[in-house]
């Protein structure tokens, strides 16, 4: 079925933007950060090769100029374009085999040597910085955050609630100041008859038995995120019989600060109508193991498991 956000958080949108290449190249650093690894390595490989070829040709030109008009050896053991290219390669990569070197008889050779060293450092530092930025991207941390495959609707404290489970498989580098937002995307018709195809409405959330909304979530153990279906909820008139006939998508967004890096990361998922089980609840995951240093054990193999519970099949409006 159609959805805006994939189960793994991918955005299912293709944009037809005029002048897209020009706009992307204007923000070249972000473009390189988002590019695939093979394209990044290809760009830097071509950059190194082009710089070696250009400076090799310049060194060969310096050699020919000095040799023709002044009969001065500007670069020792450079007598062909190939040897000039090898000298360019050895200079920029600081290999220094010791056979070729610039003599002090030509100032232009000294200047060209300085320029090539600076260019080589710029390319190398840019490559290292880009690789570090790609490896440390905070959104990769979001891949270790799990969302339940299904949402459930069941009674909690006598009220119908829509619930999801979220957990973090990492125990050492945790997410701090974590909070979650939920948005339901659906069709909406205004009083003037204008139909909005992707109307977004926020869903108030709390987690587990804490009643305050916008409460920070501690993910050292998996948490159940709860949306109470009341008269302000878009699901107030939804019953078990008409749930699967509705066209909507609930988008969950978890944001938190990575403890080890201090950067903000985000994890996303979504649920459509047939991914919400009416009259189910989530299986307990946490047990106390007195034989393993008295630690609590979380069984993530049952993270997505649910079990049926007695739940009225009527809507929250009818229940109230």
Tell me the pLDDT tens digit for each residue of 15-41: 888 888 888 888 888 888 888 899 999
Query: Which range has highest mean pLDDT (60-64, 101-105, 160-164, 175-179)?
Result: 160-164
Residues 88, 59: Cα–Cα separation, whole Å: 7
- pLDDT digit string (tens) for 196-223? 888 888 899 887 645 454 567 888 889 8
Taking each helix axis as running N to C, give the angle between helix 81-92 and helix 107-135, from 0 to 180 degrees, rounded to the nearest 10: 50
**What pLDDT sits at residue 209?**
44
Percent of the chain's residues with pLDDT above 70: 97
Question: What Rg do the C-alpha atoms of the chain give, in angstroms?
Answer: 31
Residue 96 pLDDT greater than 80, yes or no: no
Tell me what pLDDT residue 211 has: 44
Indicate the Cα dihedral angle 152, 155, 157, 159, nearest 10°: 100
pLDDT category at 275 given cuts 50, 70, 90 is: very high
pLDDT of residue 259: 81
DSSP string, 42-91: HHHHHHHHHHHHHHHHHHHHHHHHHHHHT---SEET--SHHHHHHHHHHH
Look at the block and give the residue holding tokens 């000095």.
66
Between 4 and 1, where is the model more confident?
4
Per-chain mean pLDDT for the chain: 87
pTM of the predicted protein model? 0.76
- Among the listed residues 170, 149, 62, 179, the one whose alpha carbon sits nearest the alpha carbon of residue 112: 62
**CA–CA separation, 297 vs 294, rounded Å?**
9
Tell me: pLDDT of 297 over 80: yes
Could you tell me the domains of the chain? 20-136 (1.10.287.70), 141-318 (2.60.40.1400)
């Amino acid at each position: 079925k159609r959805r805006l956000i994939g189960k793994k958080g991918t955005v299912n949108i293709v944009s037809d933007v005029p002048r897209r290449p020009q706009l992307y190249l204007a923000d070249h650093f972000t473009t390189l950060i988002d590019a695939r690894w093979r394209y990044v390595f290809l760009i830097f490989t071509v950059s190194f090769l082009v710089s070696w070829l250009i400076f090799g040709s310049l060194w060969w030109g310096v050699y020919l100029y000095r040799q023709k008009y002044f009969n001065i050896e500007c670069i020792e053991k450079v007598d062909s374009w190939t040897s000039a290219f090898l000298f360019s390669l050895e200079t920029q990569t600081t290999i220094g085999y010791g056979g070729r070197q610039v003599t002090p008889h030509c100032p232009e050779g000294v200047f060209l040597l300085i320029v090539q060293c600076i260019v080589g450092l710029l390319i190398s530092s840019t490559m290292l910085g880009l690789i570090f930025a790609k490896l440390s991207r905070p959104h990769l941390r979001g891949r270790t955050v799990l969302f339940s495959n299904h949402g459930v609707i069941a009674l909690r404290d006598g009220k119908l609630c829509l619930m999801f489970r979220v957990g973090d498989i990492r125990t050492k580098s945790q997410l701090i100041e974590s909070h979650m937002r939920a948005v339901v995307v659906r069709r909406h018709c205004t009083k003037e008859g204008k139909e909005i195809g992707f109307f977004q409405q926020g869903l108030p959330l709390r987690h587990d038995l804490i009643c305050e909304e916008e409460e920070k979530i501690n993910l050292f153990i998996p948490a159940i995120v709860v949306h109470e279906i009341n008269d302000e909820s878009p699901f107030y008139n939804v019953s078990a019989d008409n749930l699967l006939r509705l066209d909507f998508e609930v988008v969950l967004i978890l944001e938190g600060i990575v403890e080890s890096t201090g950067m903000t990361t985000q994890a996303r998922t979504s649920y459509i109508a047939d991914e919400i089980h009416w009259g189910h609840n989530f299986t307990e995951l946490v047990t106390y193991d007195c034989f393993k240093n008295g630690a609590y054990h979380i069984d993530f193999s049952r993270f997505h498991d649910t079990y049926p519970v007695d739940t009225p099949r009527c809507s929250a409006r009818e229940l109230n």
